[in-house]
Structure 1
Amino acid sequence: MKRSWLTSAALVAALAAAPAVAQETIKIGGIAPLSPPGGVQTGESLRDGMRIAVEELNAAGGVMGKQIELIVEDTSGVPEKGVAAFERLASKEQVVAVTGSAHSAVCSAVGPVAEKYGTAFIAGECWSDSVTAAQIPEVFRITVANSLVYSVAADWVKEAGFKHVAVISENSDWGFGIIDVFEKNLKDTGAKVTSFTAERTVSDFTPQLLQLKRSDPQPDLIVAGFTGSNLLLMLRQAYDLGVAPSKNTAIFAAGADVLEPEFWNVMGDDGVYVIGNPAGLPGKPDTPLSRSFAKAYEDAYGRPANAVAMEGYDGVMVIAEAIKAAGSADREAIQDALRKLQWDGTRGKIYFPQTAEPKWKFQQWPEVPIFVIQYSKPNQTPAESEILWPRAQATTDSLLLQP
């Protein structure tokens, strides 16, 4: 009897630990900053993009005949909370893969957890090179790396002829990466790069901005390397102090919050001439999928889709496509399929090269569309703004619109 009881107990334990493929639904995990100090609106856009993907998949019959169940955990943009969230998803919820995040420090922190559980992590809106440079086999990225996006931005800076670039960034992997890439790419151009760093919780940028206002010469471009509501506060303060955007100084917002409607709530008409750097624009490429996603997102949430929402959608979809290709929701099979994947997403054909050098290119989608945009009218969406760069897709002859 005792032996029979142990066998039954072992069977129960085995069933409890069985992967999600044995369940009635296939569970996909999501992580995002949904509470402060994280960039809440960025997190909500990621999550809502994921939801549109799941609704679309389930309306079409699911994957392998099973409905997709999305479980999203809040990271608050804090690495320790991100690790705990990933642990819960991988162990307790038994998800087959995870997507999302925002905040590079969170993405970097959860990489080893993804490796521990053998669970693919599709990183979105985490730009630090370190996320993929760690070359963890379970980590894939569907947004840009700092070295990719800011080298493009630096090309625009060089072409536009800026001579004194000032970077005010948060002291994170992402923030330091912004400074590093601009310094490297502008090293031989004669342009001066001045940099300041601060805790990402700082909300008063008056000292740094006044120092720039008093400098001689004043910077002709300020790069605002913060995320969340503090990015918007910096932009507001820069305008109120008469620093930028102005006739003499342009301002380039590196954080994704400049792409959200809340940007206009904070800035009002003063947001005109602010520059952004989205890793994707709805309608570019102009494909049926890009159009249908943008419509579904706006119908569902009453706000325009942007690059972050597109990343949330694409993250779930590449997991679903990998499951279809593998014919299995086994975690290892999903990873193998992701390495062979070529899927036309909302922003182009997504694939993950196994490039070894430079290290950040490992399982990094290399063709993320990158734009430098500038608002020319109040309340524009990113898709309605002027594209300054790349020149092949520019909507204006000018490299910079000035007040």
Structure 2
Amino acid sequence: MPSTVSRSGRSEEATIRIGALAPLTRPGWVQAGRHLLAGLELAASEINGAGGVAGKPLELVVRDTAADPKKAVAAVDELARLGVVALAGEYHSVVARAAATRADELGVPFLCSSAVLDRLTEQSTKWVARLAPPQSRGWQIYADFLSRAGHHRIAVASQQSVYWASGAHILRDHVHSRGGSLSEISMSSLDPSSLCDKLVDHRATVLLLLVGDPEPAISIVKSVRNDRRLATIKIGAPAGQPEFAEWATLLGEDSAAIPFLRYRPEHLNALGSYVQRALREKLGEAPSFVALEGYDTIAVLADAMRSHGIERNSIAESWPRLRVEGTRGKIQFFRTPGAAVWQWTAAPIQIVERTPGNPAQFRILHAP
């Protein structure tokens, strides 16, 4: 039976419903969605085991976005009608932007777990907050890392997307400001072998993968690794494709030595260590930082409801007042210059890679 919602946005049901958005089917990044949902579910389960919030259990109402902005908007509409007090999750930036825009229009608080696109909404809104660092911050750190490593001729293999275009723009501006060059190679009409020919022509020292996973990313890596002309070229993946176990499974030793951005600290706190162990058991594999983002999302929403009430407006008004101990540090939200949403400004960032000779392990290359 659908819940009813009062004019204040408060659910009249016995449970507190939270709408959970995640890419659970293709063309979405399914492994990311699975990890995100595992984190959301673990946090909700533990909160319910401790008595819930205001004596009521949390209920996650899960909707698959499949990396489709239209599906996300439809899901937000449905979840709002079902009486959710807030929305949580989503991994894909373009999808999260569509969900955030609709949540703002409907007056439903949305705590975005993983998406990094700088502007999640065009207009400033009180309804949306985010845990992941904005793309400009992480990708500028990545560009600085390349520059310090001596890479000044950079090639980018890209697909058509607002997210990839934004990333390429951030990289290009930062690389050019340091006297380097960046050549963007569209994969819309190229196969991986043709890409290798272009890389030879460009004389690039590093290739960045601004493409989907597993394809065409996996095929590109295999082609480049097997081309003797490109034996010295470095491959990078700022979007984090190598984070998930599928990457090592599909590529083996070729999965190593590909630096990527990872949003977790070098050392987890006590809560993070406990949650990591619990998520490993739940997932049957090492949890990604995305799973930790999912856990933190529900922890923050629960704290907001305990301290400020379960009405939608109260949750949205609570963002700047929250101080929550998450798995990756203390979470506080601020309104940064030019930002349209509330942002956790201290979200940790690392540059890591899978270890050559032992791709199941990661090694930290840079932790600003």
Q: TM-score, normalised by structure 2?
A: 0.92
Residues 227 and 255 of structure 1 are in contact (CA less than 8 Å); yes or no, is this contact kept in structure 2? no
1:337 aligns with 318
Structure 2 distance, partners of 1:348, 1:226, is 30
Residue equivalent to 1:359: 339
- Three-state SS of the structure 2 residue aligned to 1:35 is coil
Residues 52-98 of structure 1 show CA distances to partners (whole Å, capped at 9, x for unaligned) of: 1111111111111111111110011011011111111111x211111
One-letter code aligned to 1:368: A
Distance in 2 (CA, whole Å) between partners of 1:175 and 1:363 is: 23
In the alignment, what sits opposite 1:264? Answer: 248
Deviation of 1:133 after TM superposition, in Å, equals: 5.7
In the TM superposition, residue 256 of structure 1 has moved relative to its aligned partner by 3.2
Residues 182-232 of structure 1: per-residue CA shift (max 9 Å, x gap) = 111122322111112345xx89433223311x215x211111112332233
Is the contact between residue 42 and residue 256 of structure 1 (CA under 8 Å) also seen in structure 2? Answer: no
Closer/same/farther in 2, CA of residues 113 and 185 from structure 1, 3 Å limit: same
Is the 1:352–1:364 Cα contact (8 Å) retained in structure 2?
yes
Equivalent residue number for residue 398 of structure 1 = none
Q: Give the whole-Å Cα distance in 2 for the aligned partners of 1:98 and 1:54.
A: 13
State the alpha-carbon separation in 1 of the partners of residues 120 and 204 from structure 2: 31
For 2:362, the equivalent position in structure 1 comes to 385
Comparing 228-237 with 42-51, which one deviates more in the overlay?
228-237
Q: Distance in 1 between matches of 2:345 and 2:45?
A: 28
Answer yes or no: is the 8 Å Cα contact 1:169–1:196 preserved in 2: yes
Deviation at 1:20, TM superposition (A): 5.1
The reply on whether 1:312 has 2:294 as its aligned counterpart is yes
Residue in structure 1 matching 2:44, options 41, 44, 54 = 54
Q: Which residue of 2 aligns with 1:323?
A: 305
Q: Is the 8 A contact 1:167 1:194 kept in 2?
A: yes
Q: Distance in 1 between matches of 2:101 and 2:256?
A: 42
Q: State whether residues 42 and 228 of structure 1, in contact with CA within 8 Å, keep that contact through their aligned partners in structure 2.
A: no
Cα offset, 1:388, TM superposition: 1.0
Q: RMSD in angstroms over aligned alpha carbons? A: 2.2
Work out which of the residue numbers 326, 339, 352 in structure 2 matches 1:373. Answer: 352
1:5 maps to none
Query: Higher relative contact order at CA 8 Å, sep ≥6: structure 1 or structure 2?
Result: 2
| Distance of 2:39 and 2:178 partners within structure 1 | 40
Is residue 2:102 matched to residue 1:123? no
Contact residue 18 and residue 58 of structure 2 kept, 8 A? yes
Distance 1:242 1:52 in 2: 46
2:319 and 2:342 in contact (8 A); partners too: no
Q: Match of 1:215? A: 201
Q: Could you tell me which amino acid in structure 2 is paired with residue 258 of structure 1?
A: P
Q: Which residue of 1 aligns with 2:148?
A: 159
Task: Output the CA distance in 1 between the equivalents of 2:307 and 2:359.
Answer: 40
1:198 and 1:316, CA in 2 relative to 1: closer, same or farther beyond 3 A? Answer: farther
Pick closer, same or farther for the CA change 1:167–1:140 going to 2, 3 Å. Answer: same
Give the Cα separation in 2 of the matches to 1:204 and 1:318.
44
Aligned length: 365
For normalisation by structure 1, the TM-score amounts to 0.85
Cα drift, residue 160 of structure 1: 1.0
